[in-house]
Amino acid sequence: MQQLDFYGGLVAAFAAAGWQIIFHWLPQFIPVLSQKENKTLAWWLAAMAAIRNTLTKSQVATAFLVGLLLGRPLEGLAVGAVIELMFLGVFVVGASIPPQPYLATIMTTVFVIRAGLQTADALALVMPVAILSQTLMMAALSWNHLPLGIAKRRAEEGDFRGVDIQNTAWQVTSFSIAVNLVPAFIGGFVGVPAVQAAVQWLQTNAGWVLEGMGFLAGVLPALGFALLLYQMGTRLIGYLFLGIVAAIYLKPDPLALALAGVGLALVHMLATRREEGAPTTAVSEAPARPARELKLTDEDILAMYWRHWNLFQVASWEVLGGLGFAQTMVPVIRRFYKTKEEISAALKRHMVFYNTNPWLGAIIPGVLASMEEERANGQPVDEAAIQGVKVAMMGPFAGVGDSLFWATYIPIILAITASWAQSGNTALMWLAPITVLVVLGLSNLLIPYYFMRFGYRRGLSALQDLQQRNLLAELSTAATVVGQFVVGGLVVKLVNLQVRWAPSFFGTSPIQLQKILDSIMPSLLPLLIFFFAYWLLRRGKSAIFVMVVLMIICLVGAYPIPLPLFNNASILGKPIEPEQAKTSLLLLRQLFIG
């Protein structure tokens, strides 16, 4: 019996949540319990949250760091790149929770390195673990009704510190320990020897299964790109075909492709404006604020900002990010309201259903803080107006924010760095996780902060400006143009599938089918797989279903066919030895004849 792997479990648990508990969760109690803010600590907490958010989105960076902990970072990169491309178009939209790749990436990397496997050998484990993680997250949304109920009682009592504590303390039992840390430790501790034994059995008895999983590694990016196209829709699909043609005949690298996409988006926006005419409404100047006796300080805004990162950490089905939003507003409530009745009313009006894109949506707490400030200074701002503004902004900001950041900006960075990680160039491979951590990490840290300050500074005029300039619609269109163009190009560059079968009729020379396909159109097979995956998604099939179909295609393609026409070879793989062919034939007979 294989020995259990305690060190593998320990590394998996630390990478999954251990570091967050030490460096992010515990330090939060300093300002929460004391209700005293410190700018340095506030930036530290925001930075840790930004790193957490970056790692959960980038499988390249996550797998690299796990590999670093295990002393083999480049092997971690190879695992992360495959999973990155597989989940490229997977992100949370509204209240729907897709399979989560973060835990799967950590465990697969541990399996590959600790058990001495190839990336493809452990690929079959990715989706089951991602589904397990998805299930646990949905369970957490259910059991988080308990902290929500406690927080409601604290709000009723006018205890803003109690609400602050609830949304901090329960993070560790929802998305840290229960969803990630415990499964990661068990998986690493028990799973490594089990996976090692299973792969050894397959190598001995059915090597074609492992070869098929190797083909799957090249095909799975098609699913990620199909999901992205599904999210963007087929509006402006001409840019997708333009990206395909550019990638086939100009062969740009992914970064050049992304820059060309940005250029096309600018041209499209200028051409559209010329056709529709320039906006006739001038942008209003920010109205001069009347002198206010009570107002927020920079320290208060920073205190809101680091709490804003806890928006969905104790999310529940009832209010989603409502408890997190109430915690975000604690510094505002603490500053402006003194009586129990005022504090209770403010906490309750912010602890209602809330869901939007956390980057662009950071404008919303900024605007509402400005409205609360006006209300505290005696301006005629009632509760209905505050709620109305929040509800009016959530939907549009979610749609545009998801389209701009989740479906375009972040996937482009992830795809470029994943291609670097697969390039085989050592310098580019090291540059991939560093680029992700720097570019995506700083974006996570600074973009929402800018939007929050913008919302507070402009107040309600921020919303009016965005409407007057039609900025949200223009940003959405520009993101779609870039996304379509880059997806088209990256399908050609990163989806890999070839037919190696060369049939020979009556002793004639073998016919190289792949050469025939290339003469029709280069990258024809990857494009067919991509559009097939997209067609299945459009027909309502889930990503899991599509992945299973692709897996079956790869396994069938790798299965050695012991017939003369196939030259004892598989459709996608290499010729096999005569003894393997006999074994394969016996297995085939057992399956279908008995």
Chain centre to alpha carbon of residue 384: 35
pLDDT of residue 34: 94
Q: Return left, alpha or beta for 294; rule: phi > 0 is left, psi -120 to 50 is alpha, else beta.
A: beta
- Tokens linked to 280: 């006739």
Is residue 112 within 8 A of residue 119, CB to CB? The reply is: yes
DSSP string, 165-203: HHHHHTHIIIIIIIIIIHHHHHIIIIIHHHHHHHHHHHH
Please list, in sequence order, all residues whose beta carbon lies within 8 angstroms of the beta carbon of residue 341, skipping any fewer than 6 positions away: 158
Start-end of H helices in 402-523: 410-421, 426-435, 441-458, 460-468, 471-494, 513-520
Rg (alpha carbons) of the chain, rounded to whole number = 27
* Strand, coil or helix: 354: strand
pLDDT of residue 279: 52
520-525, long-range: CB within 8 Å, 24+ apart, which pairs? 521/248, 522/248, 522/492, 523/244, 523/247, 523/248, 523/491, 523/492, 523/495, 525/497, 525/498, 525/499
pLDDT, one tens digit for every residue, the chain (594 residues): 456 778 888 899 999 889 999 999 999 999 999 999 999 999 999 999 999 999 988 999 999 999 999 999 988 998 898 888 877 766 655 556 677 788 889 988 988 888 887 777 777 777 778 877 778 888 888 888 999 999 999 999 999 999 999 999 998 877 666 678 888 888 888 877 777 777 777 777 777 777 777 788 788 888 888 888 887 788 788 999 999 999 998 888 888 888 888 888 888 888 877 665 555 444 455 555 656 677 889 999 999 999 999 998 998 888 889 999 999 999 999 999 989 999 999 999 999 999 888 999 999 999 999 999 988 888 888 888 888 888 888 888 887 888 788 878 888 889 889 888 988 888 889 999 999 999 999 999 999 999 999 999 888 777 776 666 667 777 778 888 888 898 899 889 888 888 877 776 666 677 777 888 888 888 898 999 999 999 998 998 887 788 889 888 888 888 776 665 555 566 666 544 445 445 544 544 554 444
Q: Which has the closest alpha carbon to 236: 462, 481, 464?
A: 481
Give the amino acid at 383: E
* CA 473/CA 476 separation, integer angstroms: 5
pLDDT of residue 555: 84
Please list, in sequence order, all residues whose beta carbon lies within 8 angstroms of the beta carbon of residue 277, skipping any fewer than 6 positions away: none
Is residue 84 within 8 A of residue 418, CB to CB? The reply is: yes
- Tokens linked to 448: 């929402």
Hey, how many other C-beta atoms are within 10 angstroms of the C-beta on 162? 15
Helices 363-376, 460-468: crossing angle, 10 deg rounding: 130
Is residue 165 within 8 A of residue 129, CB to CB? The reply is: no
Q: Give whole-number Cα distances, 126 to 119, 296, 432, 547, in Å.
A: 11, 47, 22, 11
Chain centre to alpha carbon of residue 528: 25
Helices 192-205, 207-232: crossing angle, 10 deg rounding: 120
* CA 406/CA 401 separation, integer angstroms: 7
Hey, how many other C-beta atoms are within 10 angstroms of the C-beta on 125? 18
* CA 515/CA 12 separation, integer angstroms: 45
pLDDT of residue 303: 96
Which residue is it, tokens 């927020």? 296
* Strand, coil or helix: 78: helix
DSSP string, 404-432: IIIIIIHHHHHHHHHHHHTS--HHHHHHH
Give the amino acid at 153: R
Q: Which has the closest alpha carbon to 411: 214, 230, 218?
A: 230
pLDDT of residue 490: 87
* CA 190/CA 517 separation, integer angstroms: 46
Q: What are 354's strand-pairing partners?
A: 320
* CA 23/CA 9 separation, integer angstroms: 20
- Tokens linked to 497: 């599938």
Q: Return left, alpha or beta for 410; rule: phi > 0 is left, psi -120 to 50 is alpha, else beta.
A: alpha
* CA 552/CA 217 separation, integer angstroms: 13
* CA 311/CA 46 separation, integer angstroms: 12
Burial pattern 402-428, b for ≥16 Cβ within 10 A else e, equals bbbbbbbbbbbbbbbbbbbbbbeeeeb
Please list, in sequence order, all residues whose beta carbon lies within 8 angstroms of the beta carbon of residue 229, skipping any fewer than 6 positions away: 89, 240, 484, 487, 534
Give the amino acid at 351: M
- Tokens linked to 282: 């001038």
* CA 497/CA 507 separation, integer angstroms: 28
